[in-house]
Each structure stands twice: as structure tokens, then as C-alpha cells.
Amino acid sequence: MPHVTLKQVLTPARAGGYGVLSLLAGNLEMVVGAVQAAEEKRAPLILAFNAEMVPDIPMELALPVAVNAAQRARVPIATILDHGDGPESIVRAIRLGCSSVMFDGSALPYEDNVAHTCEAVRLAHAVGVSVEAELGSIGGSAIEAAGGSEESVLTDPAMAEEFVARTGIDALAVSVGNMHGPYRGEPSIDLDRVRSILGRVKVPLVMHGASGLADEMYPRLVAAGISKICYYTAMGLAATADLRQLFTEETPEALAYHRLVSRSTTFFRRDTQRLIGLVGGAGICVDQS
């Protein structure tokens, strides 16, 4: 199956009313487990590299792993630079074969966000690479459990319509009550705002900070109009808990490091399978084996 762009996986998702997972391509176990699950469930997938999340793993090593896995997969898989901060990181990702990039100018004044996003679109579209951008800002932090900003600026539907028209982006990340990292208290996701934005823009909508919600919320998010669901924090915490369980099951002498690699790969495969079911992505693709 060809390595595809964000636009190629999300445009059918928006039209078909299903969700596509975007999972952290932080190491080989994450990538292999996620791709195995996508193939088994016949679901499209997005592999995301985020430099902030894995600062000890250079982009030049991590992105080729994700790209190679996407090229070999039996289902459509896109790769994306997550939360790119400027032309330098975007150009690096494109040169490494990434099919899609996200420019995150959500912390900038509106006109600056527009201008910098337009530049990202110019660079990426010239070589057939998709672009995601963000309007509004999402609080919290996926890096520090108690870090990041508590404040969010919700996406204004009218501004979203203008932003998409002026920039020519392929997908729009929105702020509708979602938070990076663990939620503080009961999440309050504004599904009416999602529907309003969806009615004003033609591009697929993206939700960052989508992990840690109740299982029944994911079908509702997709039904309201979210096509790309970015999921990591809850999965990362559960993976650690699974490894702690392994330590209670085995003696230290039996736990050489390769056992941890195997256990982690199996965990990411199984949890990805579960999540694909929640967002309605199973059975979408024809198996190309």
C-alpha cells in the first residue's frame, strides 16, 4: 500500500463519518505495534513524530522508521510532523520523507498565525505534502503531568472559516475543551462548537489532547465531525502500568531487556486495536497482502 498523505486519509474519513487515529511514533515498539493493529483491523492510521515528546530521539532517526513502516504496510498510513514550529523543522521532515506536516502557530497573534501557516503551505504543497494547522489554543501538557497552560482559547467558527480559506490548509486542529496531557477534573468537550466549525469549513477537523476521555465519548466526537483523533497520554500511562505488571509476574533474572520490548510491542498493538474500534475505523480498508 502506498505511503499516503494526511489529506488522502482524512478526506474519506470526513465523507464516511469515521475517525482515524494519530499515534506517537516515538520508538520502534510504538510503530510496529500500531501498524500491526491497523493491518489486522484494516484501518487507516497516522504515525506522528513529536520532537518534544521524544527529545532524545533525533528526527533523522525516528521519521525514517515511521516512513518505512508506512511504505511497507498493507493499509494506508500517513506520517506527520506533529506541532512543527517553523520552516526549518518542516523542511527537515519533508526531506526525510514525511507525507504531512503540522505547523502550530496557535500561540501567535491571528495574523501571524495566518502568515506563517501560508508559508508552511507554500513549502509543503510544492512537493505534494499535506498541511495541518491549529486555530485557538489547547491548554495542558502531554510532557509534564502538572505542566503547561491551564488556559485554552476556544476556536471561533467564523474565524475558522476565514483561516482555512486564507491559508489553504488540508486539516484544521480545533480547541473545543480538549486538553493536552491528563485532564484536570471532568472533561467538557463542546460538541456543538465542533458541529458549527464543521458546517463552515470543507477540510477535516483534528482533535489534539484526545486521550483520557470516557470510551463512549469517541463515537460522539466522530459523529460531531472530528476526523483525526490524536491519542498518546492515556496510552503512554497504560503502557507503563503494563510493564509494572510484568515486573510482578517475572523474576528479575527472567527480564532481560528484549522481554520488555516484546511486551511493549504487544501492548501497543492491542491498545491500538481497541482504539480503532472506538473511532469506527475498523474494516475501512481492503487488505493489500
* Residues noted as catalytic: 82
Q: Are 90 and 103 in contact (CB under 8 A)?
A: yes
Q: C-alpha grid cell for residue 196?
A: 458549527
Judging by beta carbons within 10 Å of its beta carbon (0-12, 13-18, 19+), is residue 252 exposed, middle or buried?
exposed
Q: Which residues of 192-226 are buried (b: 16+ CB within 10 A; e: fewer)?
A: ebbbbbbeebebbbbbbbbbbbeeeebeebbebbb
Q: C-alpha grid cell for residue 123?
A: 513549502
Amino acid at 229: I
227/12 Cα distance (integer angstroms): 9
CA angle 91, 168, 14 (to 5 degrees): 105
58/94 Cα distance (integer angstroms): 15
257/225 Cα distance (integer angstroms): 42
Beta-ladder partners of 46: 22, 78
229/238 Cα distance (integer angstroms): 18
Q: Are 149 and 131 in contact (CB under 8 A)?
A: no
Can you state the percent helix, strand and coil of the chain, rounding each to 5? 45, 15, 35
Closest listed residue to residue 10, CA positions, set 191, 198, 245, 244: 198
